[in-house]
């Protein structure tokens, strides 16, 4: 009777740890985006000297950068874990649904990163005579950070869906193999 060692800690598979890691970083990105929405520069912060404008740096810049890091780490780790599963074993099949979820996550990720990056850069200090673009000062419109937070959540939902879809069949195959080897 051959008993295989389980790939777990305290009865939980390692995949649960990756799932929680991706979920927590995605959740952090969402809350950082919402915080940036409420901390962004407003019209009252804008100073005008007649020829040029000045806008001081505010907290939304740092919050946006932190959100950008969180959503990027979650996206990359999620894709590495899922894609490693594609090439590692033939026990699981790559389904079209899993691939569609991955592609959807990358499209949402690209749009979210663009919105977060532009919003964060507009909240950097815009000094007299330089501004943000074409020597003019710009303010982030209402809802840009909130929309990027929503896109971060949909990105993570797609990654976690693909992850769960990919891990579930492999766990079923492993459990079936374990039951089979214990009966022999």
Q: Which residues contact 142 (CB under 8 A, 6 or more apart)?
A: 37
Q: Which residues contact 31 (CB under 8 A, 6 or more apart)?
A: 149
Distance CA 4, CA 92 (A): 19
Burial of 130 (0-12, 13-18, 19+ CB in 10 A): middle
CA 132 to chain centre: 26
What would the pLDDT profile of 127-169 be if each residue is shown by its tens digit?
776 655 566 667 778 888 899 999 999 998 888 888 777 765 5
Distance CA 137, CA 53 (A): 6
pTM: 0.73
């Amino acid at each position: 009777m051959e008993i295989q060692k389980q790939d777990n800690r305290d009865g939980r598979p390692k995949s649960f740890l990756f799932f929680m890691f991706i979920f927590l970083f995605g959740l952090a990105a969402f809350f950082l985006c919402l915080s940036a929405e409420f901390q962004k520069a407003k019209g009252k912060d804008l100073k005008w000297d007649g020829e040029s404008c000045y806008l001081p740096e505010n907290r939304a810049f740092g919050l946006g950068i932190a959100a950008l890091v969180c959503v990027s780490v979650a996206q990359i780790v999620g894709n590495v874990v899922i894609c490693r599963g594609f090439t590692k074993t033939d026990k699981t099949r790559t389904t079209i649904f899993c691939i569609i979820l991955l592609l959807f996550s990358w499209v949402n990720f690209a749009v979210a990163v663009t919105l977060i990056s532009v919003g964060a850069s507009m909240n950097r200090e815009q000094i007299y005579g330089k501004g943000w673009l074409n020597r003019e000062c710009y303010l982030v419109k209402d809802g840009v950070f909130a929309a990027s937070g929503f896109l971060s959540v949909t990105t993570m939902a797609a990654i976690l869906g693909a992850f769960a879809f990919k891990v579930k069949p492999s766990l079923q195959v492993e459990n079936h193999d374990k039951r089979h080897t214990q009966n022999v």
